[in-house]
Amino acid sequence: MQDGRTTLSKYLIDTLDRQPSPVAATGLSALLIDVAAAIKTISATLTKGALSGNYGSAQSVNTHGEEQKKLDVATNEIFVQHCEWDGLLAAMVSEEMDTVYTIPSTYPRGEYLLAFDPLDGSSNIDINGVVGSIFSVLRRTGDQEAPVSEADFLRPGHEQVAAGYAIYGPSTMLVLSVGNGTHGFTLERDVGNFVLTHSDIRIPEDTGEFAINASNERFWEPPVRRYVQECKDGRSGCRERDFNMRWIASMVAEVHRILMRGGVFLYPRDFRTPQMEGRLRLLYEANPMSFLVEQAGGVAITGRERIFDVAPRALHQRAPVILGSKNEVERIQRYHSEYDRGEDKPYTSPLFNKRSLFLPEAST
């Protein structure tokens, strides 16, 4: 299909409805068009900025104990309203809803399950920075007549049938996969169409760019400290090349950059979080982003295993996330296994190495 000429609807009809393929699924294209409608509405709301009257705190907290902004609540509502009526969904799960939202009995019920983060990177709202939305689609297994339960959503990432994100930047884009590559559509605002502009995105296998919130360094495990230190050492260190660092505090923006030009993103296990699960949520952040990254030739791991193989135990479960360019992510996985086997070279903190002020010879 031709970049710049193919609308989202045409792409979905051609891909899902006309071709007998493993990804073909009744109603999935219609569901994704409803998700895209929600994204267009969110995009229009965000474009108004403070004039929308939706700025500031909602004076409430979500299930993670995080303060909800008015826009977290409003964008959640937009997703629900655009997707609950169409007869394609059985239920939804969102970062901003504590429990499973079962489709009300006033609407027909379908076979799909939608998990979403309606506004990712919402701390960027106050600074007019880049934000996004993330979504994941599962097909419900088992008795379709039975009441929907949490267990319906607790499926590993490799069972997703579609996933995507919207990025609300200078332009609004929808990046999507139904299991046959990762494709990007740009919103033509005056017409209201998503137009295919980035077909079959491929993440370069090598990169010189990494993204991590370095303020958490003291909580990281040794393999992550080792990797980041080696990147920072640059040309004079064992990597013998310089690296660049970025941190936008919106996973959507980081993953988008990686899809466009490569890179590696880490929100790893750390000692701050219970069971060292990291910060990001498995069902509606880690899994859908892993789908898009893997479909673009990248790799997504927790550090020790493929994110797709993590068996979810809870709706709002967190997961460590390391994803992006294949060769860097595989190197980080190797550092984890070397550490677990006790075979890695000991990590030396820059504060305590040979140039450190803390060494006796430095103070003489």
| Residue list, annotated binding site for substrate | 120-123, 213
- Residues 92-151, interacting with Mn ion (CB under 5 A): 95, 117, 119-120
Sequence ranges of the binding site: 95, 117, 119-123, 213, 285
34 in contact with Mn ion (CB under 5 A): no
The span of 20-28, 44-52, 119-127, 309-317 binding ligand AHG (CB under 6 A) equals 119-127
Cβ nearer to Mn ion, comparing 117 with 294: 117
* Kind and range of the H or E run holding 267: strand 264-267
Q: Which partner in Mn ion, ligand AHG, none is near 279 (CB below 5 to 8 A by kind)?
A: ligand AHG
CA-only gyration radius of the chain, Å:
21
Amino acid sitting at position 150: E
The neighbouring-strand residues paired with 174 are 166, 185
303 in contact with ligand AHG (CB under 6 A): no
Which residue has tokens 């003489």?
364
Sequence ranges of the binding site for Mg(2+): 95, 117, 119-120, 285
Q: Quick one: tokens of 146?
A: 């039975």
34 in contact with ligand AHG (CB under 6 A): no
96 in contact with ligand AHG (CB under 6 A): no
94 in contact with ligand AHG (CB under 6 A): no
Q: Looking at the chain, how many residues does it have? A: 364
Binding-site size for ligand AHG (CB under 6 A) equals 11
Q: Let me know: does 26 contact 188? Beta carbons within 8 Å.
A: no
In sequence order, the 6+-apart residues with CB closer than 8 A to the CB of 349 are 225
The helix/strand count (H/E) of the chain reads as 8, 17
- Residues 226-285, interacting with ligand AHG (CB under 6 A): 249-251, 267, 279
Q: Quick one: tokens of 298?
A: 């990248």
Q: Let me know: does 119 contact 73? Beta carbons within 8 Å.
A: no
Q: Let me know: does 110 contact 145? Beta carbons within 8 Å.
A: no
254 in contact with Mn ion (CB under 5 A): no
User: Which residue minimizes CB distance to ligand AHG?
Assistant: 251
Cβ nearer to Mn ion, comparing 119 with 203: 119
In sequence order, the 6+-apart residues with CB closer than 8 A to the CB of 112 are 27, 28, 31, 88, 89, 90, 137, 138, 139, 140, 161
The minimum distance between CB 125 and ligand AHG, in angstroms, equals 9
34, 84, 95, 270: residue in contact with ligand AHG (rule CB under 6 A): 95
For binding to ligand AHG (CB under 6 A), which residues are involved? 95, 117, 120-122, 213, 249-251, 267, 279
